[in-house]
Structure 1
Amino acid sequence: MKSWGEWEISFLPNVTGDHRLEVKVNSQQVRLSPFEVDVKGNPVLTIGQEGSGVGELDGPLGVAVDKDGNIAVVERGNKRVQIFDKDTGQPLRSFPVEGQNPFGIDVDSNGRYLVTSWGENFGIRRYSKEGELLNTLNTDCFQPPHGLAVLQDGRMVVADPNKESCLLLQPDGSLIREIGKGQLQLPVFVSVDESRDVMFVTDGSAHKVFAFDLGGNFKFDFGKQGDNDGEFEGPEGVTVDPAGNIIVGNAGDGRVQVFGSNGRFLRKLGTVRGGYAGGLAVTPDGYVAVACWNGHCIELYRYM
């Protein structure tokens, strides 16, 4: 039998999961080709390590993408927001935030940062692009705000675990309507797809993701507790991509999964360092940034 020696090939898939790989030499299939390849998700970039210095992180939870496409992270331990370059992961700037337990973050259409905190001095705080505190929203309509999403017109949707609902608020913090009362148990993070008039909220107790329209009408839910594909262990971070797909991170086991706009499981992106996936955000160039609470870092996964 003729020996063809050893060959080395490289294969860089865009998504995780099962792949079928054909290998040919001079138009001839090599022995055993096609190959079945199970691709595990690995981050293409890891930002930060535990600490309080520049570029270090302590308990990152909320994450958002600013108007320049860079990554803004809320750190509970260091009580600050740090902004990192989307391409290199290098720290660009930071600013301190108020409140006992800073949690969620989003960026409005003017590029200002809105940060939630719970516990003592809870509220929603609006900061300028430079990190100057502009105002604090602290009204009787919400109690311990957690995740939030800012709409293009400045309205906000905030997850309120104590009220077991989400709140649609005016830009000044006044209540428009309560959403999900009687259905949600422990809402944590929220994401809004304005083009489709639908919002998604993770429920850490029900181990589900719920979908409502902004009028407060229930649309559908998906998921159940478990460690199989499409199941959740304490879902937290949630975001929506331009195609309407829903990306969800688990606090319980760190898995990050992608679902279609109807909640059908599509694929698993990976499992984050430390096994606790917090806030999520999709970058303009097609990566998912995940806050790794226990890993004290941000991981970027190839996505689109």
Structure 2
Amino acid sequence: MSKEVPRKCQDHPDNNLQLFCANCSKSACKKCTHFMQCYEEHDAKPIWNAIDAFNKQVSSLVESVDDIKQKLEVVYNSIIDDKVHFEMHVQLCRTAIEAHTDEIVRKVKKEGKKLLLDLENVCKEKTKSTESEVRELESHQQKAQSLKRLITKTTMNKPGNTTTLDDYMRNIDDVNKNIEEMQSRNDQSYPKKVTPTFRLNTKVDDAIIKGLGTIVCVDNKYAIDKDDKAITVTEGQAFEVIVSSLDEIDRCNVAATLIKPSGKTTATDEVEYMGSGEYRIKGRCDKEGDWKMEITSCEVKIKGSPVKIQVEPLGLVHTIENMKEHKLDKYRVTDVLLDSDGCIVVSSCSNNLLKFNKSGKFVGNIKVTQKTKVAKMHAMSNGHILYCDTDGKKVVKCNSKFEEPNLLCEGLLGFPSGLTLNNKTKVMYVADFHSHCILKINVENGNLLGKIGSEGKEHGKLDCPRDVTLTKEGNLMVVDWGNHRIQMFDANGIFIKTLVNEGGINDGIDFPWGMCVISNRPRRLAIANRGKDNVKIFNY
């Protein structure tokens, strides 16, 4: 800021103002003796410093006012944008209503013309029928008149002409028979009465009474979670849609309805208020197709409604076949793993891993630097990976790139063929193929905590266990390969039940070694199909 020429001191006109006291809010030159005491005791400073400090305060106030102005402009623009947006949609609604009305009027007029044509055809048929009957009557009338003239002319005053009289009687009988036939055709009523009647289509009346449609406003204070605006699930899969509101008080006014592919509606399972303005809507779709979920507040649709729901059928989705094209070894697939980037990693008892995307397209190879045979894998919650090294008879913990290996439980395992981890308890369960048991191991230090099962065919015993996994309740499911069954144990190793006994499986499953859930919505499972050396993807 440029400095103006200082004003002169009132007491000493020849001197410029040089000092300023912030306490007294007074200016003075150095010759002002009355100011010297103030200068010594108060916060007196050179006037240019005071001016600069004051100007900074003024500039700060100006900036604050500018900020207010900008905020007001933002609010104003928001109001104008909202007004324009509102008017645009009003015009769209007006156009749609007019078009819909015109279409209905066009259809009604078309139907009216069709009804009038039907009525005209009825009239024509009636006229044709009436004219035919009139002509027949006229014919009988002519015959009757002719007979009357002949009878009068030829038989009157001639009693001996009885033969001629008999002929006339027969002709009269014929005419009467014809008349009786006409009366019979007309249901003993002559002439027949036909009454045209217009029967109203009550369904059309109901439709008109219910109205051509409704005008609704979208409630913008609600927001559907970005991951729930369009979802994909499998048949019968339970799912949730999260809706949040700016108004925590309005917590009883959210409702949801499922719309089937046919257009029919069905109720959702539950709308639950979770607190802090958040709602959880539960639903389930029992058939494949394109469904919708309409969400309303006080019967007004919220923004983003309806949610699009694609429902996929259960069963085989696709197969990743091209393993041999990318392998650097001759071994068949043994396990699958969902990587942190969403890709599928495939192992085959070697140090060469294959990587595919979920559609089955090959992404690349992962080369494990150390000499090892990666059989089974498990992704930890912290991003690390556990895998069984069947060659070294050990379990290895490494990073997501299969680097920085940390050996676990060396000397404890005979042939590690599968593993899983309880992330809460940090207990790792390893299926030992040769030892016929499941080992419980501390994943932090590799110490043995106990064993589950022993060799045998009785329930609760194992024969060459191939793999192990955990349920969400913390129970263990063990692939009892030698006994051709899957058994369940609790976390302490107590036998619960046999889940699957020996039997056949469709969809080309042949000697499955490993599996991994690769998606929860839709529920999708990848299986390492060792017998066919491929990976099969299923919806379940």
TM-score computed with the length of structure 2 as normaliser? 0.36
Counterpart amino acid of 1:195? K
1:279 alignment counterpart = 514
Where does the alignment leave 5 or more consecutive residues of structure 2 unmatched?
Answer: 1-231, 235-310, 505-509
1:251 alignment counterpart = 481
| SS of alignment partner, residue 102 of structure 1 | coil
Match of 1:186 among 407, 412, 415: 415
Which whole-Å CA distance do the structure 1 matches of 2:430 and 2:312 have between them?
26
Q: Report if aligned partners of 1:255, 1:277 keep a CA contact under 8 Å in 2.
A: no
Q: Does 1:223 align with 2:453?
A: yes
Counterpart amino acid of 1:107? L
2:320 alignment counterpart = 94
Per-residue CA distance 1:222-268 (angstroms, 9 max, x = gap):
11110011111110021111111110012212110001011111111
- Per-residue deviation, 1:137: 2.6
Q: Report if aligned partners of 2:335, 2:527 keep a CA contact under 8 Å in 1.
A: no
Which whole-Å CA distance do the structure 1 matches of 2:353 and 2:382 have between them?
17
How many equivalent residue pairs? Answer: 217
Q: Report if aligned partners of 1:253, 1:276 keep a CA contact under 8 Å in 2.
A: no
2:334 alignment counterpart = 103
1:23 alignment counterpart = none
Which whole-Å CA distance do the structure 2 matches of 1:247 and 1:86 have between them?
27
1:160 alignment counterpart = 389
Q: Which has the higher helix share?
A: 2
1:113 alignment counterpart = 344
1:232 alignment counterpart = 462
Q: Report if aligned partners of 1:250, 1:276 keep a CA contact under 8 Å in 2.
A: no
Match of 1:176 among 405, 416, 431: 405
Aligned Cα root-mean-square deviation (Å): 3.6
Match of 1:261 among 480, 483, 491: 491
Over the matched positions of the two proteins, sequence identity in percent amounts to: 19
2:471 alignment counterpart = 241
Change (3 A) 1:128 1:278: closer
Change (3 A) 1:91 1:189: same
Where does the alignment leave 5 or more consecutive residues of structure 1 unmatched?
Answer: 1-67, 71-84
Per-residue CA distance 1:71-117 (angstroms, 9 max, x = gap):
xxxxxxxxxxxxxx995213345352333322110213442111111
| SS of alignment partner, residue 252 of structure 1 | helix
Change (3 A) 1:91 1:163: same
Which whole-Å CA distance do the structure 2 matches of 1:189 and 1:287 have between them?
21
Change (3 A) 1:258 1:287: farther
Counterpart amino acid of 1:126? K
1:79 alignment counterpart = none
Which whole-Å CA distance do the structure 2 matches of 1:260 and 1:287 have between them?
25
Which whole-Å CA distance do the structure 2 matches of 1:266 and 1:287 have between them?
27
TM-score computed with the length of structure 1 as normaliser? 0.61
Which whole-Å CA distance do the structure 2 matches of 1:214 and 1:287 have between them?
28
Larger radius of gyration: 2
Q: Report if aligned partners of 1:250, 1:278 keep a CA contact under 8 Å in 2.
A: no
Q: How does 1:144-159 map to 2 (within 5 A)?
A: 144-159=373-388
